[in-house]
């Protein structure tokens, strides 16, 4: 076994261990955004053999951001690819929190193979280390976001696509198409952007009489695309109406829903700033010159890698969503390894001249910056998660059972989490403790009637304070609301008083 292979295996182990540790110890296995919870919600739905769930009753209490309650359906609005992978993993007893670290480690291995095929083992090691040595990759690989599985399939697409361009064989083209079809089933827009540069390279390098070979790519991608369209049709009634747009008409690509070019460019500037802080400022600064040198050398392989990054950045100018809670500019995650590959190819490749030789110090400095920043990000994100989980920790500490917690406040001070990001429930509303919005005393009576076997509590948190309070809710008698009592006070009173269960 060569030294390069041993080093790659070591990087694979470091990637798996680092992301697993961050997921477990820093992020506390917590879906730290609304998107992440929705992916798990959809995975649970699919695991039960359903595409959607009946909407909760009474309505509005259990509403959650990105989960639609429409046309008799209660369903997450994201494509089914990533939830399907999570459901499959849990079916074979792989815990959900470990799935992304595993896929992240596999992505590092594929990145190494791709870079070695393109530029040799030296560039492959530098590229893999450059990606791994950033909080940007490690934290996203520790999360429940869908970017790492999309990256995995995008790397497979480029790896098999390159093999087809080299040999013209059918199997690699079909496998490349299958990979990008899977990526499309997870993040359609990203799949289109990442695959476009290789498609252009195919058209530029293959004789036009052999363009028919592209049909093998199409044949491989077709199952993923058809499954995506079938999923849309089953839920929205229209294969061409994505569930995400059906759930939120403001969604889409282009200057719609109040999105403007100025807004998109402002988002892009913020994303690039965050990329420098979460990854490597050196890679960000060198990607432009690297593309210029590659163009002068007519180095198609490096141009394709760099173009992936540029196209993803430019493409997201037209996307109206900034990204919400994220670990760096997560929409760029699938493209960043290609940027590192392009820069490493110029700085460390066989044809590196005098100017690129000077880049090696900058590249190393950028890697060192990323490694130093990683524990700083870990410390802050750990505090954010701890603050956001306040209501769930209170419930655990008070050992509530058969309860509904009404959220009158959000959680968190460093990065507040609003109420509609905290109403986290199972798809059948059978968990021991349910979380709902506090809609006032009178609606709470209807909720108590719908769940007569559960006790109602209210969570409140004063502005600027990290820790909130749980209080039991006494039912209304007539038109007046009874006072609230602390959980601690309730545990000191006999159950016969009739206030613990919300009993009359």
Both 323 and 453 in one domain: the answer is no
Q: How many domains does the chain have?
A: 2
Both 221 and 316 in one domain: the answer is yes
Q: What is the pLDDT of residue 504?
A: 33
Both 232 and 374 in one domain: the answer is yes
DSSP string covering 12-67, please?
A: HHHHHHHHHHIIIIISTT---SHHHHHHHHHHHHHHTT-SSBPPPSSSSTT--TTE
- State the residue range of the domain holding 329: 3-380
Both 427 and 480 in one domain: the answer is yes
Both 110 and 141 in one domain: the answer is yes
Give every residue of the chain whose pLDDT is below 50, as ranges. Answer: 478-504
Both 372 and 396 in one domain: the answer is no
Both 374 and 418 in one domain: the answer is no
Sheet holding 455-460, edge to edge: 433-437, 403-407, 455-460, 469-472, 485-486
Residue 298 CB coordination number (10 Å): 8
* pLDDT tens per residue, range 303-353: 999 999 999 999 999 999 998 889 999 999 999 999 999 999 999 987 655
Phi, psi of 353 (to 5 degrees): -95, -160
Residue 275 CB coordination number (10 Å): 22
Both 370 and 421 in one domain: the answer is no
Both 349 and 402 in one domain: the answer is no
Residue 3 CB coordination number (10 Å): 9
Both 113 and 262 in one domain: the answer is yes
Both 290 and 439 in one domain: the answer is no
Both 329 and 476 in one domain: the answer is no
**Residue ending a domain, choose from 347, 380, 413:** 380
Q: What is the pLDDT of residue 1?
A: 64
């Amino acid at each position: 076994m060569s030294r390069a292979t041993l080093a790659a295996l070591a990087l694979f182990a470091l990637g798996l261990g680092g992301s697993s540790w961050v997921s477990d110890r820093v992020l506390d296995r917590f879906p730290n955004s609304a998107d992440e919870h929705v992916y798990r919600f959809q995975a649970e739905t699919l695991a039960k053999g359903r595409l959607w769930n009946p909407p909760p009753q009474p309505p509005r209490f259990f509403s959650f951001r990105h989960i639609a309650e429409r046309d008799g359906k209660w369903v997450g609005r994201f494509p089914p690819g990533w939830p399907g992978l999570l459901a499959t993993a849990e079916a074979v007893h792989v815990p959900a929190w470990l799935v992304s670290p595993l896929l992240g480690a596999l992505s590092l291995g594929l990145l190494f193979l791709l870079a070695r095929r393109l530029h040799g083992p030296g560039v492959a090691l530098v590229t893999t280390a450059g990606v791994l040595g950033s909080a940007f990759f490690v934290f996203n690989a520790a999360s429940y976001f869908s970017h790492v599985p999309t990256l995995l399939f995008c790397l497979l697409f480029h790896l098999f696509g390159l093999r087809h361009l080299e040999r013209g064989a059918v199997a690699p083209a079909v496998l490349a198409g299958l990979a990008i079809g899977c990526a499309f089933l997870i993040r359609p827009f990203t799949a289109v952007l990442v695959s476009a540069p290789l498609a252009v390279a195919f058209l530029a390098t293959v004789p036009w009489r052999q363009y028919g070979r592209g049909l093998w790519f199409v044949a491989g991608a077709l199952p993923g695309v058809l499954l995506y369209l079938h999923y849309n049709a089953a839920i929205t009634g229209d294969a061409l109406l994505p569930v995400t747009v059906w759930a939120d008409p403001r969604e889409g690509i282009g200057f719609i829903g109040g999105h403007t070019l100025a807004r998109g460019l402002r988002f892009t500037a913020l994303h690039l700033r965050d990329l420098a802080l979460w990854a490597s400022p050196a890679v960000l600064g060198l990607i432009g010159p690297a593309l210029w040198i590659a163009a002068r050398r007519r180095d198609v392989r490096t141009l394709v890698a760099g173009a992936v990054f540029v196209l993803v950045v430019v493409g997201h100018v037209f996307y109206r969503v900034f990204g919400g809670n994220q670990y760096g500019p997560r929409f760029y995650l699938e493209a960043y390894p290609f940027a590192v590959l392009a820069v490493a190819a110029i700085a460390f490749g066989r044809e590196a001249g005098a100017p690129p030789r000077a880049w090696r110090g900058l590249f190393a400095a950028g890697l060192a910056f990323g490694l130093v920043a990683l524990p700083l990000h870990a410390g802050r994100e750990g505090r954010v998660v701890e603050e956001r989980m306040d209501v769930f920790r209170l419930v655990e500490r008070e050992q509530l059972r058969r309860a509904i917690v009404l959220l009158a406040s959000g959680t968190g001070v460093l990065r507040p989490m609003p109420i509609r990001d905290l109403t986290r429930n199972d798809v059948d509303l059978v968990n021991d403790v349910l979380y709902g919005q506090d809609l006032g005393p009178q609606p709470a009576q209807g909720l108590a009637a719908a769940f007569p076997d559960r006790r109602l509590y209210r969570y409140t948190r004063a502005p600027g304070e990290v820790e909130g309070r749980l209080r039991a809710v006494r039912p209304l008698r007539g038109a007046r609301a009874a006072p609230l009592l602390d959980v601690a006070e309730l545990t000191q009173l006999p159950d016969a008083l009739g206030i613990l269960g919300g009993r009359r």
